[in-house]
Amino acid sequence: MKKVFLVIGILFICFRASSQEKETVIRVYPNQGKQIINKHIYGHFAEHLGTCIYGGLWVGENSPVPNINGYRKDAVEALKKLQIPNLRWPGGCFADEYHWMDGIGPRANRPKMVNNNWGGVVEDNSFGTHEFLNLCELLGCEPYISGNVGSGTVEELAKWVEYMTSAGDSPMANLRRQNGREKPWKVKYLGVGNESWGCGGDMLPEYYSDLYRRYAVYCRNFDGNRLFKIASGASDYDYNWTETLMKKIGNKMNGLSLHYYTVTGWNGSKGSATNFSTDDYYWILGKCLEIEEVIQKHSSIMDKYDSNKRIGLMVDEWGTWFDVEPGTNPGFLYQQNTMRDAFVAALTLNVFNKYSDRISMANIAQVANVLQSMILTKDEKMILTPTYHVFEMYKVHQDATYLPLEILSDTKEIRKRNVPLVSASASQKDGITHITLANIDLDAAQSIVIDCSGLKLNNVTGRILTSAKINDYNTFEKPDAIKPQVFKDVKISNGKLTVKLPAKAIAVLEIR
C-alpha cells in the first residue's frame, strides 16, 4: 500500500513540475545581422535633482565619503564597470533654468539659485561645467550637454559651446584657461532644449522649430569638435510634435529625442515601487512594452522625411516612475528598485536593440538616487540596484551586430493587454554571440529551445538574475541580496540550445 502511494506521489510531483513549465521557441538568424547596436543606447542621465548629483556622484574633496577629487569613489568604480558610454547633464527640466556661467570659477564665489523644478531647494552651483566634464573623463564616457533654450539665450548657449570646445585665442576659451583648464574638452552631443513642449518653455512645435533654427546656427564647431545637435523631441504619443519637427527642421538636426516613462498604474496612480500586486506587475510590464509601438510610430514619421535614417532617434529619458519612498521629499523622486524594475530595463533594452537601425542613443532616468537608478547612496554607503545588474549583463550588446530573431511564447492577459512572457535579443561581436533572455512569468519556468541554424555552437555559458519574490530589492543592510549568478541550465543538443529559465528570471548567454 505504501509503495502505491509513493508511485502516485512521484507521478503527481512530475505532473505538477511539467505543468509548471511552459515552452518557448526562439529562432535567431545569425547570418542576417545588418545593424550595429550603438553603444550609446546604454547611456545614462544625471540631473540636478534630489541627491543624484550632490550625494550620489559628488561629495566634494573634503567629504568623509571616500572620493576622487570630490567624486564618490564607489560610484565611479561601479559606473566604470558598466562601461557607461555617455552621461546626459544637467537636466531634464533643470537644464532650461540653468545658467552655466553660475557654475564656473572658484566655488566660493559661485552664485546660488533655487531649484524651482525639484523641491525648491537651494543649488549652490558647486558642481558645474568643469566638474561634469572632468567626471566624464574619469568615467571614460562622452558628455551629452542639455542646453537651456527655455529661459536662456542663443548667446548664452553659443558661449557655452565656445567655452567647452574652443582651442583658440577666443574670449570663452581664455575664460576656461583662467579657470584652470587649458585644453578644450570634446563635446559631441548637444541637446537644444529639453521637453520644450512642457517644462522647457511650454512651446508649440512650430515655434520651437523656428527657435531651434536660430540656436543651431550659433552653436558652432570649434577646432575639430563636431557637434551632434539633438532637437527636443516628443513625449510618448505626441506624434504631431515629431511630424512638425521633421517637416520643418529635419535637415538641420542630427538627432531627435523621445521621452517615454513606464509610469501610472492601471487605476491612474503611480503606485509604490516596492509594494504592488501581481496584476500591477504584469500591467506595468505591459505599459513598458508599449514603447515598441511608440517607437514604431515615431520612426515611421521620421522615415517619411529621412528614409536613409540619417537622423538618430534618441530616447534620452526612459524608465520607471513610481511614488517616492515614504518620508522622502516628493520633489526628489527617490524610489527603491526591485526585480520588477530589472524587468522593465531588460524588456526595454531588448526593444531598443531591435530598433537600433533608428535608435542611436537612449538614457535611462537616472543614474543615482532618482527614479530608476543604477545606484542608491546613503552617506558613505552605496548599493547596486537590480537595474544596475541588468545594464552590466547587457553591456555585451554595446556596438555589437544585432541578430534578428523570432519568439514563439505564451502571453499573459492583463486587463485586455496581452503581454508576451518571454523577451530576448541577440547580437554578435568579435565572433562571440550573446543572447539576453527574460522570463517575466511569476510562476512558471520556461523551457526554451533556441534555434540558431548557421551558428557554430561549441560552448555556451550563462549568468542569471532572479530572486524569490518579485518585489525583492537590495538594501543598505543587504546590498547583495540580488546579484547575477552563474547559470548552468543551458545545453547544446542537436545543434540547438535548450534553456530552462526559471520563473521571473533574466539571463545572458555567451556562445562561442
Closer residue to ligand AHR, CB minimum distance, 186 or 270: 270
The answer to the question of residue 420 lying near ligand AHR (CB under 6 A) is no
Q: Are 510 and 436 in contact (CB under 8 A)?
A: no
**Residue 194 binds ligand AHR, judged by CB under 6 A:** yes
> Considering only 54-62, 89-97, 174-182, 226-234, which stretch makes contact with ligand AHR by CB under 6 A?
89-97
Q: What does the per-residue mask of binding to ligand AHR show for 346-365, with x meaning CB under 6 A?
A: -------------------x
Q: Which of 37, 41, 79, 93 binds ligand AHR (CB under 6 A)?
A: 93
Task: Identify whether the C-beta of residue 501 lies closer than 8 Å to the C-beta of residue 477.
Answer: no
Place of cell 584652470: 180
Q: Which stretch binds ligand AHR (CB under 6 A): 67-75, 91-99, 244-252, 423-431?
A: 91-99
Find the shortest distance in angstroms from Cβ 32 to ligand AHR: 37
Residue number, 79 or 426, with CB nearest to ligand AHR? 79
Rounded least distance, CB 323 to ligand AHR, Å = 14
Asked if residue 195 binds ligand AHR (CB under 6 A), the reply is yes
Task: Identify whether 92 is preceded by a cis peptide bond (ω within 30 of 0).
Answer: yes
Q: Which residues contact 394 (CB under 8 A, 6 or more apart)?
A: 42, 345, 346, 349, 436, 508
> If phi over 0 gives left and psi between -120 and 50 gives alpha, with beta otherwise, what is residue 191?
beta
Does 165 engage in binding with ligand AHR (CB under 6 A)? Answer: no
What is the identity of the amino acid at 16? R
Cell of 301: 514619421
Residue closer to ligand AHR by CB (options 194, 320) is 194
Residue nearest to ligand AHR as judged by C-beta position: 92
As a whole number of angstroms, the distance between CA 302 and CA 291 comes to: 16
What are the DSSP calls for 443-457, one per residue? S-EEEEEEE-TTS--
Q: How many C-beta atoms lie closer than 10 Å to residue 144's C-beta?
A: 28
For 87, half-sphere exposure in the C-beta direction (CA atoms, 13 angstrom radius) is: 28
Stretch of residues binding ligand AHR (CB under 6 A), selected from 86-94, 344-352, 382-390, 398-406: 86-94
By CB under 6 A, name the one of 50, 92, 233, 250 that touches ligand AHR: 92
| 91 near ligand AHR (CB under 6 A) | yes
- Contact flag: residue 47 with ligand AHR (CB under 6 A): yes
Q: How many residues does the chain have?
A: 512
Pairing verdict, β 359-365 and 312-321: parallel
Q: How far is the CB of 157 from ligand AHR (least distance, A)?
A: 17
Which residue, 318 or 487, is less far from ligand AHR as judged by CB?
Answer: 318
Q: Which is nearer to ligand AHR, 249 or 367 (CB)?
A: 367
How many Cα atoms sit within 13 Å of 363 on the Cβ side?
A: 29
**CA–CA gap between residue 44 and residue 345 (Å, rounded):** 13
Which residues are within 8 A (CB) of 214 and not within 5 positions of it... i.e. 6 or more apart? Answer: 154
Is residue 317 a contact point for ligand AHR (CB under 6 A)? yes
367 part of the interface to ligand AHR, by CB under 6 A: no
Active-site residue list: 195, 317
Residue whose CB is less far from ligand AHR, 74 or 317: 317
Determine if 368 is a binding residue for ligand AHR (CB under 6 A).
no
Check binding of 50 to ligand AHR (CB under 6 A): no
CA dihedral 439, 441, 447, 453 (to 10 degrees): -40
Interface with ligand AHR by CB under 6 A: which residues? 47, 91-93, 194-195, 317, 365-366, 371
